[in-house]
Amino acid sequence: RQAAADPCWLRFIPPSRGDLTRLFARLTAVHVAGPLHPLLATARAELRQGLSSLTGRTVTEAADWRAAGVIVATRAAALRAPWATLLPAARLAELGREGFLLHVMETPDDRSPQGAAPAIFVVGGDEAGVLYGVFHLLRGLTLGTPLSGLAACEHPVNPLRMLNHWDNADGSVERGYAGRSIFFREGRVLADNPRIRAYARLLASVGINAVALNNVNVHATETRFITEEYLPDLARIADVFRAYGIRVFLSVNFASPIEVGGLPTADPLHPDVARWWRETARTIYQYIPDFGGFLVKADSEFRPGPFTYGRDHAQGANMLADALAPFGGIVIWRCFVYNCLQDWRDRKTDRARAAYDHFVPLDGMFRDNVILQIKNGPMDFQVREPVSPLFGGLTRTNQMLELQITQEYTGQQRHLCYLVPQWQEVVAFDTYARGPGSTVARIASGELFRRPQGGVAGVSNVGDDVFWTGHVLAQANLYGFGRLAWNPELSAAAIAEEWVRLTFGDDPLVVTTITEMLMASWSIYESYTAPLGVGWMVNPGHHYGPNPDGYEYSKWGTYHYADHQGVGVDRTRRTGTGYTGQYHPPHCDVYESLATCPDELLLFFHHVPYTHRLHSGKTVIQHIYDSHFEGAERAEWLKQRWESLARRIDDVRYHVVLERLTEQAEHAKEWRDVINTYFYRKSGIPDEHGRLIHP
């Protein structure tokens, strides 16, 4: 029998400080006003469970709002309630979809010596807003937020806050590092798996409202998910998610009309193909009435797509969008399209350019229910990349940012790499598309270009592992993804600290130590792996561990061009691939010039001699040596920091994390040695400090 799944950040450990005693005394009863929509039933159950864990008392339901410490309602119900006039009218009027208002005030209380006691009103703009408000309240209480700080009025910045699962029907997870799929096993749907409800809770608690269940690489079995063979069971998963305000999407195979429909073609302009998809959509909605729509990887890495028929991506996406439109569904069409049959001698074809070159000419041609999903960088989730110039390049098309929570290139959940600081840089990146302030966050949300759809998707890092994410500390990435998708302006450090408190309690040493470890981890991982934005020095296939020439001569188009004189990819307009020209000023010039290109991206944009001096004052080769020696030391430091928490953390979690950090420290040394030796051998330049470059 498997151990019970870890509750992650939903532990509701009572805070050891804070002025909540009076409030907690009142929190033994909750009142839900208005008709009991299923989401309100969920909110009530979560509230009762969370509060009883926090207060250590049984929490009951009060029929009379005056007997309750928490009063919960949608705005519509609140306006009809006897207590409506107690709430700030202007705030109530502002409440929109998925938003909530938390209002704290004293209400009469016979049991209290003062005759009154604090009560909290949680009012949602709609039912989902109520649920988010409840989770917000529970989080605030767990964090020991004083009563005065509990008042809030929030709306999610992004309409879609989504997880993409790369789960396969056989139970494997592409780029999964946390066990097997929680949805599928041996070609079957695990509709009864209790982990799915537990997962839905985790997601809803951080505001996620959509999930694509299966891998964007849709193989033979998953191609049939959109048929009546699989829909009844998939509908049961959708039921579980629905109770938490989460809509289900499926990844589809563009060639489905051939593979399951028996048609001779999948040409998007062929009337039989369009009809087949319309009928398929109708069938899906009979089983899943609030089905979100299709996620599509087409004409990418050997997946079928419209190119086969001489059609473009807009024609492909729009045909699917038209099939879903009558039911309110959307098409999320991925922009990860590039030539994966390149020749390293061809210095003009540049994978980094590909997405922009394919999609910018189609800007404005997609239906309103199509969203283009764009990876954060132009390549593929490396530890360091510039931001994709499609953000700012497309202005008349719905867009969505794709982040990778699963740590494919960032240590595969064996290394600690808290990614929220990286994501924060991405969302804060100013594209200048409409002058200063044209951030990726404002583009993805749809606000900057006034688009009807938008949002953020993260590739899930979850599997059937007891701790969900393999590495316990990788839970912070899942948590942080949700929080950042809700509000891209939250700081990575604040999110980290929040997560630590919710997950490990509020022992100050534990909180500061783990927060510090998380915040340092991305930079540490970067420093002992591929240097200065060059990326890709990994083993082909599984992508774990160092291999400087692993992809150097391969067809995937991921080169660094290191030779005895220098390293890096010339992507300038003057002498290189011209990629810098895909950015608006000032970036196109900042990246173009050696004088202004940021150090951390130098080798992404330029091919330079090893003796080239960085802004930091170091030469490239010395930077490589120094950062790799330091990186390996800092990986050791992570382990020591964790060891300083022995006995302050429960044994099980302490030891599983220690095991990972020990492995990381070892593997960081391997990275250091392989990378340093490679560049020492190539350049022939010794380390200024005379350290031994290990073979």
The residue range among 213-221, 487-495, 515-523, 572-580 that interacts with ligand GCW, by the rule CB under 6 A, is 213-221
In the complex, what is the shortest distance from the CB of residue 406 to ligand GCW, in angstroms, rounded to a whole number?
9
Task: Kindly report the number of other CB atoms within 10 A of residue 553's CB atom.
Answer: 10
**Contact positions with ligand GCW (CB under 6 A) in 615-654:** none
Active-site residue 301, yes or no? yes
Strand 60-61 and strand 100-108: pairing?
Answer: unpaired
Secondary structure (DSSP) of 143-166: TT--GGG--EEE--S-SEEEEE--
Among 9, 12, 100, 166, binds ligand GCW (CB under 6 A): 166
**Measured from the CB of residue 404, what is the shortest distance to ligand GCW in angstroms?**
7
Residue-by-residue DSSP string for 624-661: HHHHHHHHHHHHHHHHHHHHTTTTTS-HHHHHHHHHHH
State which residue, 398 or 460, has the beta carbon closest to ligand GCW.
460
User: Binding of ligand GCW at residue 175 (CB under 6 A)?
Assistant: yes
Phi/psi of residue 526, nearest 5 degrees? -60, -40
357 is catalytic: no
- Say whether residue 408 binds ligand GCW (CB under 6 A): yes
Whether the Cβ atoms of residue 475 and residue 405 lie closer than 8 Å to each other: no
Residues in the chain: 695
Residue 336 vs 449, nearer CB to ligand GCW: 336
Instruction: Check 380, 385, 526, 626 and give the catalytic one.
Output: 380
Asked if residue 673 binds ligand GCW (CB under 6 A), the reply is no
Q: Does 381 bind ligand GCW (CB under 6 A)?
A: yes
Q: At closest approach, how far in Å is the CB of 333 from ligand GCW?
A: 12
Residue 165 binding ligand GCW, by CB under 6 A? no
By CB under 6 A, is residue 351 in contact with ligand GCW? no
Question: Within 13 Å and on the Cβ side, how many CA atoms surround 530?
Answer: 35
Q: Please select the residue that binds ligand GCW; options are 75, 180, 297, 672, rule is CB under 6 A.
A: 297
Minimum distance, C-beta of residue 375 to ligand GCW, in the bound complex (Å):
7
User: Is 229 an annotated catalytic residue?
Assistant: no
- The region of 41-49, 212-220, 230-238, 593-601 touching ligand GCW under the rule CB under 6 A is 212-220
Residue in the structure block whose two tokens are 């079995």: 221
The neighbour count for residue 363, using CB atoms within 10 Å, is 15
Stretch that binds ligand GCW, among 209-217, 416-424, 562-570, 602-610 (CB under 6 A): 209-217
Residue 256 or 683 with smaller CB distance to ligand GCW: 256
The one catalytic residue among 109, 154, 233, 408: 408
Distance of closest approach, residue 298 Cβ to ligand GCW, in angstroms:
11
Task: Report in angstroms the alpha-carbon separations of 274 from 200, 271, 591.
Answer: 34, 5, 44
Name the percent of the chain in helix, strand, coil, to the closest 5: 40, 15, 45
Distance CA 389, CA 375 (A): 10
Q: Pick the catalytic residue from 192, 301, 346, 666.
A: 301
The answer to whether 9 and 205 are in contact (CB under 8 A) is yes
> Considering the rule CB under 6 A, would residue 216 count as an interface residue with ligand GCW?
yes
Instruction: Give yes or no for residue 336 binding ligand GCW (CB under 6 A).
Output: yes
Nearest CB to ligand GCW, comparing residues 23 and 355: 355
Alpha helices in 429-549 (DSSP H): 440-444, 475-486, 492-504, 508-528
Strand partners, 609: 566
DSSP 327: G
| Residues designated as active site | 301, 380, 408
Task: Name the site residues for ligand GCW (rule: CB under 6 A).
Answer: 166, 174-175, 215-217, 297, 336, 380-381, 408
